[in-house]
Structure formats: C-alpha cells, structure tokens
Amino acid sequence: MKKNCFEFGSFLDNEYSGTADFGKAYTTVGVVITLFICIIFLIVGMVMVFKKNVYTKKTTMTVTGSTLNTSTGDWTITGNIKECTSTVTVTTSTPYTSGQTLTVYYNPSKTCDISSTTNYKGIGIAFIVIALLVGALSVINLFFVRKYKGVAAAEGVMDVFDMFRR
C-alpha cells in the first residue's frame, strides 16, 4: 500500500510543537519585561513607604480662590494659613469656594510649604502589593507554560491572536 506523501497527523504534530515553542518564548520574554516593571514598582513603593514625612504639622487653610486644571482634573486652591504670612497654594481633587476651610499639613521648618496629604505610605504599600502579586502570577504562568506543552500551545495561540487583533 502506497503511503500518502502528506500525512495529516505529522502536520498537526508540527503545528502543535511550533505553537508550544512560540508560546514558551513569548511568555518568557513577557515575564522578563513584567518582572523588570515589578522591580521598578517595588523600588518606588519602598521609597514612598520609608521616605521621611516632612509635612508633620496640621492646620486649617481659609480658601481665597480655586481654579480647575482641565488637563489633569485637579483643583489648585489658594488661601491663607496662620503660620505663613503669604498666600499658599495646594492641589486637591475636590473643589472649594472662597471662605471655606480645609485641613492641610505643613513643613515646620518651612511654614509656607504645605500639602493636602500627610504622606504617601498607603500608595507605596499598594505599589508593593501590586508588584508582588503581578510578579508572582507571571512567574506561576511561566512555570505552567514551561512544564506543560498544552498550556504552552494554548498560550502561543492566544499570543498570535493578540498580535493580529491589534
């Protein structure tokens, strides 16, 4: 019996192996990039958590005016605090009208240096948690892609579809 020169089984096996190899390579590159970004997030988060807070004193500011920055959506509030003889400004996400008061924090060594928040420890902790979570999930994904050929092939197919979708 004559063999068919085009064997469908070997064709599918070649496609399966090629897709799996592509999935492994693409995932490995993605994880390297992801871990690099996670390291940057960890460093920024650590700086935010361990940076010494200079805005340690609390006071109230009497608002004299406010303007909206349309590009960022933040409000620039101008006003007076009793610790400073000149007008001070602070940026917030909330609008205020003249005569209202808001709580601000100032640097005791530079009384006209004010901020609407005391510190960025909460944001720093969020950066650290997000970096650790994303890094761990990407490494777990890499583990399964490298260990199981079916997962690698599925990852390769998804990556190719993502390339053509854009």
pLDDT confidence of residue 163: 84
Taking the CA atoms of 7, 10, 14 and 20 in sequence, report the sign of the dihedral they define. Answer: positive
Domain ranges of the chain: 30-51+128-161, 57-119
5: confidence class by pLDDT, cuts 50, 70, 90: low
Span 75-125, pLDDT tens digits: 887 887 777 777 777 777 777 778 788 888 877 777 677 776 666 788 899
pLDDT confidence of residue 43: 95
124: Cα within 13 Å, side-chain hemisphere: 14
pLDDT tops 70 at residue 141: yes
Span 11-36, pLDDT tens digits: 667 777 888 888 899 999 999 999 99
Q: Are residues 91 and 74 in contact, defined by beta-carbon separation less than 8 angstroms?
A: yes
Q: Are residues 58 and 105 in contact, defined by beta-carbon separation less than 8 angstroms?
A: yes
pLDDT confidence of residue 49: 87
Span 23-70, pLDDT tens digits: 899 999 999 999 999 999 999 999 988 877 767 777 788 888 888 887
pTM across the whole model: 0.62
pLDDT tops 90 at residue 1: no
pLDDT confidence of residue 145: 92
Mention every residue, 6+ apart, whose C-beta is less than 8 A from residue 47: 124
> Which range in 95-99, 129-133, 145-149 is most confidently predicted, on average pLDDT?
129-133
pLDDT confidence of residue 4: 55
Q: Check residues 10 and 122 and name the one with the higher pLDDT.
A: 122
Q: Report strand pairing: 57-68 vs 75-80.
A: antiparallel
164: confidence class by pLDDT, cuts 50, 70, 90: confident
